[in-house]
Amino acid sequence: MEERMILKQLENAKRLEEFKYFFNEKGQLRHIETNQPFVFKQYNNVMNLNHQWYTAFGTVLAEYVYELLEKECRLKRLYIPVDAAKDESKSFCFVSEAALNNPSILIVLLQDRGVMRAGAWSQQLIVHDCLDTGTQIPFIKQALREHYEVMVLNPNDNFMVVKTDAECAQNEYNVEVEKTPEIPKKGLESAEQHIFYIWDHFIVKCSPMSVAIIAHGYGGLAFVNLLTERSDVMNKVYAVAFINSNHDADHQNVGPAERHWMAKNCRNWLLSSKPLDKPVISMKMDCPQVSAGTENHDLAPASCFHSIFKYLKKISNAQKTKRFTRSPIVTRSSSKGKATKNSNV
């Protein structure tokens, strides 16, 4: 009876306070009553119940991060597919105010695969360290300070779980029933499909060389897949910051033109014991490889945060200089000479 009551409470929980946790002024998760760090084991000798508690907690945690994106970063939810029927399941990503209005520079954030939703690099770090290391919020705020527009993707939000009457009966009468399979969100069934949709419906409208990508883990693999499938990626994207990316140019059949582009426009921060930004040798030398300054995959984004923005700014300035030097400079003397020449015709 007690277990059924707990499951019912978990099903209805919507706020962190209902789990007796809060984030303190340092962005650290703490227990409301004891002020102690998070612990996974909430119930003794009931592993299944602990797992269900943590799953429900993770859902509420994702919603908490969404609220921070909206309130602290002033981002808006962009629901997709845009033409979905009312009864169809939708996903969403987050965008800054002018992200869809042909921005001068758009930064796209793409996380690793797993339970993380939009705005998160690592659920483990959010829970056991702090919001600054576990979420993308520092990246978003820095991008906005530097007058970039921002798009925060949500590539792991691919399925919707719909409970049947039989499953509801299981909670009520403790009867074992077969669970309904998850329903895929149409056109967004994988991280790759999610990125294709965002590219084809929004990013493709951006000006040439105006998009920068920051991709962690599997997010890097998904981007390289996009690179091989969409010919206009090399025209739109001016820089890619891979963070310990899972991509493999050989296995993903990246062509010569795309490899040349990656060598010029991408950099990969790899896990390493070397100091931050020191060159790292690896088997995948499709683009410059440097140390992320850590050997912890989850910590890598926070570790190379400042280096990534320096890199993006450097590439952006180089692009501006290149465009400037290609444009003819009209001086007063040259204009006068041209006028004299025309008068003698």
| Calpha distance 126→28 (Å, rounded) | 8
Query: Which of 13-17, 161-165, 250-254, 270-274 is predicted least confidently?
Result: 161-165
CB 138 within 8 A of CB 111: no
H or E element that contains 31: strand 29-31
Instruction: Compare 199 and 4 and report the one with higher pLDDT.
Output: 199
Instruction: Please tell me the pTM assigned to this model.
Output: 0.85
- Confidence band, pLDDT 50/70/90 cuts, at residue 88: confident
Query: What residue spans of the chain are helical by DSSP H?
Result: 2-12, 47-71, 123-128, 131-134, 137-145, 165-173, 191-201, 218-229, 233-236, 256-265, 300-303, 305-326, 332-343
Distances (CA, A) of 69 to 117, 126, 312: 12, 15, 22
DSSP state of 155: T
Q: What pLDDT score does 92 carry?
A: 95
Q: pLDDT at position 324, please?
A: 55
Residue 21 phi/psi, 5° resolution? Answer: -130, 155
Checking if the pLDDT of 313 tops 90, the result is: yes
Work out the burial of residue 38: count CB atoms within 10 Å of its CB; fewer than 13 is exposed, 13-18 middle, 19 or more buried: middle
Q: Is the pLDDT of residue 74 over 80?
A: yes
- 96 contact partners, CB below 8 Å, separation of at least 6: 73, 74, 75, 76, 144, 149, 150, 151
Domains of the chain are 1-56 (no CATH), 72-343 (3.40.50.1820)
> Residue-wise over 57-74: b if at least 16 C-beta within 10 A, else e?
bbebbbebbbebbeeebe
Which tokens go with 68? 């921070």
Choose the weakest-confidence range: 52-61, 207-216, 322-331.
322-331
Q: Band of the pLDDT at 2, cuts 50, 70, 90?
A: low
